[in-house]
Amino acid sequence: MRDRHSPSPAFSSHHFSFPSNRRLAHRAVVQRWCVAAAVWYLLMPAVASACITSARWDACVVQKAISASTAANQANDDQAKTETPPSRRPESNSLLSRFGLAFHASTLGLGGDAAFRIARPFNLRVGANTFHYSRNLTSDGVPYAGSLRLRSVETIVDWFPFSHSFHAGAGALFFNGNRVTAVATPPVGQVLTSGTEAFISDPQNPLKGNAKSATQKVAPMVILGFGNLLPRNRHLAYSVDFGVVFQGAPKSTFMVGGGACDPSGQFCARAAEDSSIQADAQSARRDLDHHVSFLKYYPVISVEFGYRF
């Protein structure tokens, strides 16, 4: 009989094999953790070094990129400070840019202007005008040589109330030499009349009449116009103006010289001593004043083109 305290062979086998397998499994797990720890311990310094190196490299690259960008921005800022856009040239604020020259054609004649910018809304113009026109006329059989002479010097201050080219100006004509003249030379042998008297020009001292209408030497003027002889953003300039000169009514003179004879030519006398001829001269002067009275307010129309420096 078997001792009841001794286990059976089957039970013993199973009883001791399970603990043995479990112990082996635990040992394998421990070995794997030990190997992983050893590998991690050996590789960690290299990985850390590589990470640090990579971080330093990335930081260096970023730092270099930031430095390059900062240098480029600084260079652009320096270049922007030293260079000025074409639309705002430095000379636009220089003293020379305040000057301009222009040529014009107007009812005051042909001429030129010199312009200067006093301040931003005000320009000063100083110009000269000249024109001469002659024509031969005939009235009552008496030939006349008439001429129109325009000579003046003008000064105008232009005011630009808005930012556009519209402007209003006030000034004056100095040395106003505008005048109309006429010279009458009756033909020798032609019978002329003065009231109820008839006479002819003296062949030895022909009759000659001189008429002239002139205005006051200084005359104020006002204008309105468009354009600017001193533009800020370009060099080519223009101005179109409309205005009036308050020069007063022209004053005329009429003088008759030479000699007059009766139609037969036997009796001659100086025209300056003949009261009838002088009375006719004064009547002609009054007629001339009446015909030129419209020049009291002389219209001004001007077109000019210029260049700003």
For 44-73, what is each residue's pLDDT tens digit?
555 445 444 444 434 444 444 445 555 555
pLDDT at 224: 97
Residues forming a β-bridge with 268? 261
Report the alpha-carbon angle 304-308-309, nearest 5: 150
Residue 195 is given by DSSP the state T
Could you report the per-residue pLDDT of 111-137, keeping only the tens digit for each? 999 999 998 899 999 999 999 999 998
pLDDT, residue 244, reads 97
The Cα angle at residue 177 between residues 175 and 180, in degrees rounded to 5: 165
Rounded-to-integer distance, Cα 128 and Cα 151, Å: 8
Task: State the CB neighbour count (10 A cutoff) for residue 127.
Answer: 22
Structure tokens at 296: 């009291």
CB contact set of 289 (below 8 Å; sequence gap of 6+): 213, 249, 250, 251, 252
Asked if residues 178 and 151 have their Cβ atoms less than 8 Å apart, the reply is: yes
pLDDT at 58: 46
Amino acid 28: pLDDT: 60
pLDDT at 110: 97
- CB count within 10 Å of CB 82 equals 7
Measured distance CA(221)–CA(156) in Å, rounded: 8
- What is residue 88's three-state secondary structure? helix
The per-residue pLDDT for 226 is 96
Q: Specify the pLDDT at position 29.
A: 54
> Rounded to an integer, what distance in angstroms lies between the CA atom of residue 50 and that of residue 268?
136
What's the Cα-to-Cα distance from 17 to each of 21, 30, 213, 281, 295, rounded to whole Å? 6, 20, 151, 165, 143
Count CA atoms closer than 13 A to 305's CA, side-chain side. 1
Distance from C-alpha of 1 to C-alpha of 10, rounded to nearest angstrom: 17
Q: In the numeric block, which tokens belong to residue 59?
A: 């930081």
Q: Cα–Cα–Cα angle for 110, 147, 207, nearest 5°?
A: 160
The pLDDT, as a whole number, for residue 16 is 39
pLDDT < 50 stretches in the chain: 1-19, 39-41, 43, 47-48, 50-66, 84-91
CA-nearest of 224, 93, 114 to 162 is 224
Spatial contact of 174 and 154, defined as CB atoms under 8 Å apart: yes
Q: Which of 106, 107, 127, 104 is nearest to 115 (CA)?
A: 127
pTM value is: 0.63
Both structure tokens of 173: 């004509």
- pLDDT, residue 75, reads 55
Provide the pLDDT for residue 11.
39
Q: Which amino acid is at 48?
A: A
> How, if at all, do strands 122-139 and 208-214 pair?
unpaired
